[in-house]
């Protein structure tokens, strides 16, 4: 008999080092098109731990921020009473399986990378 742990969707989270899905959150945004849209996005990325990306589903702001209920061991302190969005989360295919960054069309890790993109995209960008 083997003492090897059983890997299922119910036990998968216990194998994930760093509890990846609980260290950030995303918010879908309208596709930025105008200089004004990109100036607003620059303002958002001027804040700590805020990033932006585009994937096949659209544009998103990403906030790198660890859940306050995440235990050091990786489990959830409020698992039995966790919010519905956490209950609905499907880990059949998640960050443990593949990094989401693999599917990014565009990724801006902060103000400077987005500013560089804006200067290329808009010939008359003055900032």
Query: Domains of the chain: which residue ranges?
Result: 12-119
For the chain, give the percent of residues with pLDDT over 70: 93
Place of tokens 């966790």: 82
**Per-residue pLDDT tens over the stretch 26-82:** 999 999 999 999 999 999 999 999 999 999 999 999 999 999 999 888 888 998 999
- CA 86 to the chain's CA centroid: 15
Residue 1: pLDDT over 60: no
Q: Using pLDDT thresholds of 50, 70 and 90, give the confidence band for residue 89.
A: confident
Eight-state DSSP code of residue 5:
P
Q: What is the pLDDT of residue 97?
A: 84
How much is the pLDDT for 19? 86
pLDDT band, residue 8 (cuts 50/70/90): confident
- Nearest CA among 3, 28, 5, 27 for reference residue 16: 5
DSSP, res 76: B
Please name the residues in contact with 126: beta carbons below 8 A apart, sequence gap of 6 or more. Answer: none
Distance CA 24, CA 80 (A): 21
HSE-up of 82 (CA within 13 Å, CB side)? 16
Please name every residue paired with 27 in a beta bridge, in sequence order, or none if there are none. Answer: 61
Residue 45: alpha-carbon gap to chain centroid:
14
Helix 35-45 × helix 111-121 angle, to 10°: 170
What span, in angstroms and rounded, lies between the C-alpha atoms of 64 and 107? 14
Percent of the chain with pLDDT over 90: 60
């Amino acid at each position: 008999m083997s003492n090897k742990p059983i890997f299922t969707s119910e036990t998968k989270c216990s194998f994930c080092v760093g509890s990846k899905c609980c260290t950030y959150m995303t918010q879908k945004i309208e596709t930025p098109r105008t200089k004004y849209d990109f100036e607003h996005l620059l303002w958002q990325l001027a804040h700590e731990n805020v990033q932006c990306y585009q994937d096949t589903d659209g544009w998103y702001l990403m906030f790198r921020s660890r859940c306050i209920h995440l235990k050091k061991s990786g489990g959830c302190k409020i698992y039995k009473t966790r919010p519905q969005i956490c209950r609905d989360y499907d880990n059949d295919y998640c960050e443990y399986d593949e990094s989401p960054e693999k599917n990014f069309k565009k990724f801006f890790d902060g103000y400077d990378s987005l500013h560089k993109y804006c200067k290329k995209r808009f010939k008359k960008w003055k900032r």
